[in-house]
Chain A
Amino acid sequence: MTMASPLLQVRNLVVEFPTRRGALTAVDDVSFDIAEGEVLGVVGESGAGKSLTGAAIIGLLEPPGRVASGEIILEGRRIDTLSYEQMRRIRGKQIGAIFQDPLTSLNPLYSVGRQLTETILTHTDMTPTKARDRAIELLTEVGIPAPERRIDQYPHQFSGGMRQRVVIALALCVNPRLVVADEPTTALDVSIQAQIIALLKKLCREHGTAIMLVTHDMGVIAETADRVAVMYAGRIAEIGPVREVIKNAKHPYTHGLMGSIPAVGHDAERLEQIPGSMPRLTDIPTGCAFNRRCLHVHERCFKDRPDALPVEDSRVACWLYDSANAMSLDEAKRAVASKETGSVEQANV
């Protein structure tokens, strides 16, 4: 197969936190690609390792967290082994980042314009005057009214939504190829969330920038992403095209996750919930990490860790889809979609 090599390749990434009682594996053997201009959504519960995966890609894991093994390859160049200084030149220039809380992402003591121009000047050879013109242009692009006046104002003079627009301008100011957006709308008003997501998507489409969108908001993913990776206990449970994952979830966890999302207009049903909770890092079971909560477990799930098996357009880490399994693909899909329990009895709530 001769495909253009993807923009970002993550191969068997493992992120560990060394502790006195041995290393805790927070991201365990995660692999995925992001193509040029693609929006990859990464969803999962808190602690599933989605933010850490993003931090590992931009090279800003907080110590003592570290990439224990695996590879991160950006445009054919391996970046996880680069020195801090080499990685610094990539950050901002080739990979932009957007964080959760726009209220605290900007330095309160510097004007918005100064923060923009210093980023531009760090990565380009522009003159300060040209950098300022570019900053005004960027503020216009992200929809800040009267940018010539606003550029000299300080972050506290902007509202939350406006600040996140400034943060987006900062992340995109030297046209990076990839933006890692870690919960970019979580701290915002619901009414503003949609605006910000629409803006981010529009700008990235215009500039051909790929986005890794980390969130726990399935609504945002459904609207924005091309593909989605579902993470559970540091592993990818399922990764595939967004429609497939949402409409036709294959992994029992994904299926449970989709069932637990309230939808306006479906008021008759009770929301489903997945029994139990995600295991802590110190307590991840052998075999499949989801085995204690899964409705379809069988013996093998307690022994062997499932590989990411290709199923239709997705990859799913579940033994139900193993070719050695007695069930056919259709049977397996039906089994997951039904609410019947599998071979092992589970206390249902």
Chain B
Amino acid sequence: MVAFIIRRFIQSLFVMFVVALVSFAMFQFIGDPVNQMVGIETSLAERAALRERLGLNDPIYVQFWHYIVNAVSGDFGLSYQHKRPVADMLLERLPATLELSLVSALFSLIVGIPMGVYTGLNRDGFLAKLFLTISLIGISLPTFLIGILLIFVFSVMMANAPPIPVFDLFTIYPSALQLPSFGRGTTVDIGSWRTGLLTTDGLKALIMPSITLGLFQLTLIMRLVRSEMLEVLRTDYIKFARARGLANRAINFGHALKNTLVPVITITGLQVGSIIAFAIITETVFQWPGMGQMFLLAVQNVDIPIMAAYLMLIAFFFVVINLIVDMLYYVVDPRLRVDAGKVSGHG
């Protein structure tokens, strides 16, 4: 186990090295950074001085070495546009993206797994077929459209709809269901971490963006759990568990679901990475002040240090998540814990 983790760790370092190489290459190939930083009236001598000061005249491998050393110590350079350290800017916006990603990942797991189990068990049930049909929408509609539709229904329509009386008993006020359509709402600072999870306002602001971001993952997880359940329910050990008279609950949620977990963990791990990386669109639709939004602005302004640092950060998340996923395999599947004991002889 320890040897395995060390091996994976070394592999991860290698992956990070390659990503660093790619993000460093951006500085070399996407325009001349000096041109991005100076005005039209800057003289050639000043430009040369700046070039020298930035170390752009050094050989490439020396520059790359400096880049890596700086990156490891958390220094990703100054933003061309904002003239502020990129690391600070990313850290400011990291909590917004991570909270959004976390909530939407939880949403897709907590809703997706039970729906997958249900549709797997009641293959021909009406509700199962309904879930599957609706899930097609989740897979085929683009994220931004879902976001815009949600805003239209819960922010625009709800705000303007008149109260609906129900048989003189009570009245439904649609405006009470109205959800904020942009920003994070009220946030609280805990140290340098700006959280929206502690206020009702902040939580409310999270609802629509997380659903938008998590809907695709939800349908993916639901369909994956469903097909894995169908697969596992056909196996001999499930048949034997039934022959032993175990309760359905124990069979479905103990024996069957646990055996579907390895592929589910794999896909969830990859998807959490994607959620963080592809929060860009959702953040843009909901004006969410996260890293994705900052990245888009950086692309528009060819702010290479931000783009490079963002690339490295996302790669880092992927690597860490994959490492966690590999360790979870060990927790779930005893067959991988080879050192736990030896296989006995015939008998």
Known: A99-B239, A109-B258, A109-B333. A159 touches B246 (CB 8 A): no
Among A118-126, A127-135, A224-232, A291-299, the stretch that binds chain B is A118-126
A230-266 toward B: CB 8 Å interface, digit per residue (1/0)?
0000000000000000000000000000000000000
Chain B residues within 8 Å of A123, by CB: 245
Instruction: Give the shortest distance, in Å, between A146 (CB) and chain B (any CB).
Output: 9
Chain A residues within 8 Å of B235, by CB: 104
Q: Is the CB of A197 closer than 8 A to any CB of chain B?
A: no
Q: Is the CB of B259 closer than 8 A to any CB of chain A?
A: yes
Instruction: Give the shortest distance, in Å, between B122 (CB) and chain A (any CB).
Output: 13
A80-113 toward B: CB 8 Å interface, digit per residue (1/0)?
0000000011111100110111001111111100
Q: Is the CB of A175 closer than 8 A to any CB of chain B?
A: no
Find A119's partner among B246, B248, B342 (CB 8 Å cutoff).
B246
Q: Is the CB of B330 closer than 8 A to any CB of chain A?
A: no
- Which A residue's beta carbon lies closest to that of B232? A107
- Which A residue's beta carbon lies closest to that of B343? A157
A72 to B68, CA, bound (A): 76
Q: Is the CB of B47 closer than 8 A to any CB of chain A?
A: no
Known: A109-B258, A157-B343, A161-B346. A97 touches B334 (CB 8 A): no
Known: A105-B236, A157-B341, A161-B346. A122 touches B245 (CB 8 A): yes
Chain A residues within 8 Å of B245, by CB: 88-93, 119, 122-123
A181-218 toward B: CB 8 Å interface, digit per residue (1/0)?
00000000101100100000000000000000000000
Q: Judge whether A99 and B246 touch: CB under 8 Å.
A: no
Q: Judge whether B237 and A156 touch: CB under 8 Å.
A: no
Q: Judge whether B347 and A154 touch: CB under 8 Å.
A: no
Chain B interfacial residues counted at CB < 8 A:
29
Chain A residues within 8 Å of B240, by CB: 97, 99, 105-106, 167, 170
Q: Judge whether B341 and A91 touch: CB under 8 Å.
A: no
Chain B residues within 8 Å of A156, by CB: 334-335, 343
Q: Is the CB of B255 closer than 8 A to any CB of chain A?
A: yes
Chain B residues within 8 Å of A308, by CB: none
A156 to B250, CA, bound (A): 22
Known: A92-B246, A154-B334. A159 touches B341 (CB 8 A): no
Instruction: Give the shortest distance, in Å, between A117 (CB) and chain B (any CB).
Output: 12
Find B237's partner among A88, A91, A104, A189 (CB 8 Å cutoff).
A104
A171 to B344, CA, bound (A): 22
Instruction: Give the shortest distance, in Å, between B245 (CB) and chain A (any CB).
Output: 3
Q: Judge whether B342 and A157 touch: CB under 8 Å.
A: yes
Q: Judge whether B345 and A99 touch: CB under 8 Å.
A: no
Interface set, chain B 240-270, CB cutoff 8 A to A: 240-248, 250, 255, 258-259
Chain B residues within 8 Å of A145, by CB: 347
A269 to B250, CA, bound (A): 56
Chain B residues within 8 Å of A192, by CB: 346-347
A108 to B262, CA, bound (A): 13
Chain A interfacial residues counted at CB < 8 A:
46
Q: Judge whether A91 and B347 touch: CB under 8 Å.
A: no
Chain A residues within 8 Å of B164, by CB: none
Chain A residues within 8 Å of B157, by CB: none
Q: Is the CB of B54 closer than 8 A to any CB of chain A?
A: no
Q: Judge whether B344 and A91 touch: CB under 8 Å.
A: no
Known: A153-B341, A189-B346. A107 touches B241 (CB 8 A): yes
A-B contact count (CB 8 A): 109
A99 to B255, CA, bound (A): 18
Chain B residues within 8 Å of A191, by CB: 346
Interface set, chain B 318-343, CB cutoff 8 A to A: 332-335, 340-343
Indicate the member of B247, B344, B345 with the most A CB atoms within 10 Å. Answer: B344
Q: Is the CB of A302 closer than 8 A to any CB of chain B?
A: no
Q: Judge whether A159 and B237 touch: CB under 8 Å.
A: no
Q: Is the CB of A58 closer than 8 A to any CB of chain B?
A: yes
Instruction: Give the shortest distance, in Å, between A222 (CB) and chain B (any CB).
Output: 25
Instruction: Give the shortest distance, in Å, between B330 (CB) and chain A (any CB).
Output: 12
A153 to B340, CA, bound (A): 9
Q: Judge whether B332 and A99 touch: CB under 8 Å.
A: no
- Which A residue's beta carbon lies closest to that of B345? A159
Q: Judge whether B236 and A99 touch: CB under 8 Å.
A: yes
A109 to B333, CA, bound (A): 6
Instruction: Give the shortest distance, in Å, between A170 (CB) and chain B (any CB).
Output: 6
Q: Judge whether A104 and B236 touch: CB under 8 Å.
A: yes
A89 to B246, CA, bound (A): 8
Chain A residues within 8 Å of B259, by CB: 107-109
Interface set, chain A 154-173, CB cutoff 8 A to B: 154, 156-162, 165, 167, 170-171
Indicate the member of A96, A118, A150 with the most B CB atoms within 10 Å. Answer: A118
Chain A residues within 8 Å of B247, by CB: 88, 122
Find A109's partner among B334, B340, B345 (CB 8 Å cutoff).
B334
Instruction: Give the shortest distance, in Å, between B257 (CB) and chain A (any CB).
Output: 10
Q: Is the CB of A335 closer than 8 A to any CB of chain B?
A: no
Instruction: Give the shortest distance, in Å, between B180 (CB) and chain A (any CB).
Output: 44
Find A91's partner among B244, B332, B333, B343 (CB 8 Å cutoff).
B244
Q: Judge whether A99 and B343 touch: CB under 8 Å.
A: no
Instruction: Give the shortest distance, in Å, between B121 (CB) and chain A (any CB).
Output: 13
Chain B residues within 8 Å of A73, by CB: none
Known: A58-B243, A60-B239. A108 touches B345 (CB 8 A): no
Known: A107-B237, A108-B237, A156-B335. A122 touches B244 (CB 8 A): yes
Chain A residues within 8 Å of B341, by CB: 153, 157
Chain A residues within 8 Å of B342, by CB: 157
Instruction: Give the shortest distance, in Å, between B323 (CB) and chain A (any CB).
Output: 22
27 A-B pairs with C-beta separation under 8 A: A88-B248, A91-B242, A91-B245, A92-B245, A96-B243, A97-B244, A99-B236, A99-B239, A104-B235, A106-B237, A107-B241, A107-B259, A108-B259, A108-B333, A110-B258, A119-B244, A122-B244, A122-B247, A123-B245, A157-B340, A157-B343, A159-B344, A159-B347, A161-B346, A162-B344, A162-B346, A165-B347
Given A104-B235, A145-B347, A159-B344, 8 new contacts (CB under 8 A) = A88-B242, A88-B247, A99-B240, A108-B259, A118-B246, A122-B245, A157-B343, A191-B346
Give the 10 A-B CB pairs with smallest separation, nearest first. A92-B245, A97-B243, A91-B245, A104-B236, A154-B334, A92-B244, A105-B240, A107-B237, A119-B244, A156-B335
